């Protein structure tokens, strides 16, 4: 079922339009306060917009302020299920009763609801937990049961709100695998802060910032060629934005000219971005300029140890160097250095 929403929530500065194709999983990414939960709330029926329309498989879920008529379907009539960070199971019901609750409340007989619950518990590998109460489950087990409960109502749209965020790192991979399985061919939106979820769970990414869609496309396209600092940060890339010149280089606003491999035709005079991995950027002492395709001279703002590398940041560029290099160059905030990288390691593209 295709899901389409185009809505505005004034009090939250939200005004966005999103379409999820039938059977498609969209990962919704964005900084804190970008409007991700607001979008889920609009779809689930927890928030009513000031203006807007949403349809699911052609059914109108909400229609406010467009044609004079006013439709805001209650949550339980939408065919939408929400899987939250916390499993939020009913504490006084057994696992099986928790899963059977949805089908029961949408009209299934007791026996049907029970059959459906058992089938879903088997699907999420939790059959042996059926008689337990939520207090007797680990975080990972509870989330498995929550997945079964969310799907037992056979929703036409599944919403997942950071479904792995509250889980221990040791159990998250198993739940991620389970989600990957159940999301196949399912129309779903998953809110996440984790780029790995975006790659593994989603067909497409939508990036929200300040209540607006700022980027959208297949995960690789958005993350390999980011157009916003947020997407570049997620992808772990440096993003330098400027203007293309006639030779296919990117000229930054301070006049610095950077050369790169080109992806897509760069039109002279048009906006262009250059992306380069911090691990492909070297840091050299001021006294050691040498000759390089690209040199950016800047003052170190931040020195951050990250496992076996040290990330050196200076304004808009960052480099990963070994601890030995950081020590040899005596890198610390306020040190002026050259950041150098080859054209081969950088990708330029239109934005
Ligand atoms: N209950 C609320 N009442 C009014 N404004 C709210 C409420 N909840 C959130 N907001 C505001 O609406 C905007 C969008 O918030 P939202 O919670 O949708 O963002 P988010 O992308 O889900 O953020 P996070 O990643 O922090 O969960 C923010 O400016 C936020 O301050």
CA distance 19 to 4: 4
Asked whether residue 216 falls in the same domain as residue 257, the answer is no
Asked whether residue 86 falls in the same domain as residue 196, the answer is yes
The atom of ligand 1 lying closest to the CA of 31 is 25
Asked whether residue 243 falls in the same domain as residue 301, the answer is yes
> With bands split at pLDDT 50, 70 and 90, how would you rate the model's confidence at 68?
low
- pLDDT at residue 170 in the model: 87
Number of domains observed in the structure of the chain: 2
**3-class SS letters over the chain:** CCEEEEEEEHHHCEEEEEEECCCCEEEEECCCCCCHHHHHHHHHCCCCCCEEEEEECCEEEEEECCCCCEEECCHHHCCEEEECCCCCCCCCCCHHHHHHHHHHHCCCCHHHHHHHHHHHHHHCCCHHHCCCCHHHCCHHHHHHHHHHHHHHCCCCEEEEECCCCCCCCCCHHHHHHHHHHHHCCCCEEEECCCHHHHHHHCCEEEEEECCEEEEEECHHHHHHCCCCHHHHHHHCCEEEEEEECCCCCEECCCCCEECCEECCCCCCCCEEEEEECHHHCEEEECCCCCCCCEEEEEECCEEEEECCEEEEEECCEEEEECHHHHHHCCCCCCCEEEEEECHHHEEEEEC
- pLDDT at residue 225 in the model: 87
Asked whether residue 220 falls in the same domain as residue 244, the answer is no
Residue ending a domain, choose from 196, 224, 252: 224
State the CB neighbour count (10 A cutoff) for residue 76. 12
* Residue 229 within any structural domain of the chain: no
30 lines ligand 1 (CB under 6 A): yes
* Residue 337 within any structural domain of the chain: yes
Structure tokens at 27: 């990962």
Asked whether residue 23 falls in the same domain as residue 48, the answer is yes
Per-chain mean pLDDT for the chain: 93
| Domain range for 216 | 3-224
Between the alpha carbon of residue 198 and those of residues 40, 131, 204, the distances in Å are 17, 34, 8
184 lines ligand 1 (CB under 6 A): no
Asked whether residue 254 falls in the same domain as residue 291, the answer is yes
Asked whether residue 165 falls in the same domain as residue 265, the answer is no
288 or 192: which leads in pLDDT:
192
* Residue 8 within any structural domain of the chain: yes
Nearest to 242 by CA among 287, 201, 296, 200: 296
* Residue 311 within any structural domain of the chain: yes
ipTM: 0.95
Asked whether residue 82 falls in the same domain as residue 151, the answer is yes
* Residue 232 within any structural domain of the chain: no
Residue ending a domain, choose from 181, 199, 224: 224
33 lines ligand 1 (CB under 6 A): yes
CATH number at residue 270: 2.40.50.100
> With bands split at pLDDT 50, 70 and 90, how would you rate the model's confidence at 344?
very high
CATH number at residue 78: 3.40.50.300
Of the listed ranges 97-101, 136-140, 330-334, the one predicted with least confidence = 330-334
* Residue 233 within any structural domain of the chain: no
41 lines ligand 1 (CB under 6 A): no
Residue ending a domain, choose from 224, 253, 286: 224
| Predicted TM-score of the model (pTM) | 0.85
* Nearest CA, atom 25, ligand 1: 32
Which residue is it, tokens 């302020």?
65
* Residue 23 within any structural domain of the chain: yes
Asked whether residue 263 falls in the same domain as residue 176, the answer is no
From 7, 14, 29, 33, the mutation candidate for ligand 1 (largest count of ligand atoms within 8 A of CB) is 33
Looking at the predicted structure, is the pLDDT value of residue 13 above 70? yes
Asked whether residue 108 falls in the same domain as residue 158, the answer is yes
* Nearest CA, atom 2, ligand 1: 12
Asked whether residue 248 falls in the same domain as residue 328, the answer is yes
> With bands split at pLDDT 50, 70 and 90, how would you rate the model's confidence at 300?
very high
* Residue 230 within any structural domain of the chain: no
Q: Quick check: 215 and 231 in contact, CB under 8 A?
A: yes
Asked whether residue 194 falls in the same domain as residue 269, the answer is no
């Amino acid at each position: 079922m295709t899901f389409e929403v185009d809505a505005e929530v004034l009090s939250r500065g939200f005004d966005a339009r999103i379409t999820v194709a039938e059977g498609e999983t969209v990962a919704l990414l964005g900084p804190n306060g970008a409007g991700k939960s607001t979008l889920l709330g609009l779809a689930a029926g927890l928030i009513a917009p000031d203006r807007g329309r949403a349809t699911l498989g052609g059914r109108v879920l909400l229609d406010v302020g467009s044609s004079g008529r006013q439709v805001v379907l209650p949550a339980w009539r939408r065919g939408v299920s929400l899987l939250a960070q916390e499993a939020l199971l009913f504490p006084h019901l057994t696992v099986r009763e928790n899963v059977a609750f949805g089908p029961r409340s949408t009209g299934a007989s007791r026996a049907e609801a029970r059959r459906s619950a058992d089938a879903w518990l088997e699907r999420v590998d939790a059959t042996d937990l059926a008689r337990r109460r939520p207090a007797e489950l680990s975080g990972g087990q509870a989330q498995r049961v929550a997945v079964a409960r969310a799907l037992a109502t056979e929703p036409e749209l599944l919403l997942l709100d950071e479904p792995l965020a509250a889980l221990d790192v040791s159990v998250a991979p198993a739940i991620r695998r389970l989600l990957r399985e159940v999301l196949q061919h399912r129309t779903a939106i998953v809110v996440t802060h984790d780029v790995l979820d975006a790659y593994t769970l989603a067909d497409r990414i939508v990036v929200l910032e300040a209540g607006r869609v700022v980027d959208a496309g297949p995960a690789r396209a958005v993350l390999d060629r980011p157009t916003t600092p947020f997407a570049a940060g997620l992808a772990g890339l440096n993003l330098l934005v400027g203007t293309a010149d006639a030779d296919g280089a990117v000229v930054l606003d301070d006049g610095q000219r950077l050369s790169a491999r080109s992806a897509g035709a760069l039109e002279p005079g048009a906006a262009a971005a250059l992306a380069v991995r911090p691990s492909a950027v070297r840091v050299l002492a001021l006294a050691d300029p040498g000759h390089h395709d690209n040199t950016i001279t800047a003052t170190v703002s931040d020195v951050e140890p990250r496992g076996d590398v040290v990330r050196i940041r200076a304004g808009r560029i960052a480099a990963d160097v070994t601890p030995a290099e950081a020590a040899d160059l005596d890198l610390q905030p306020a040190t002026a250095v050259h950041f150098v990288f080859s054209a081969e390691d950088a990708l330029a593209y239109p934005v």
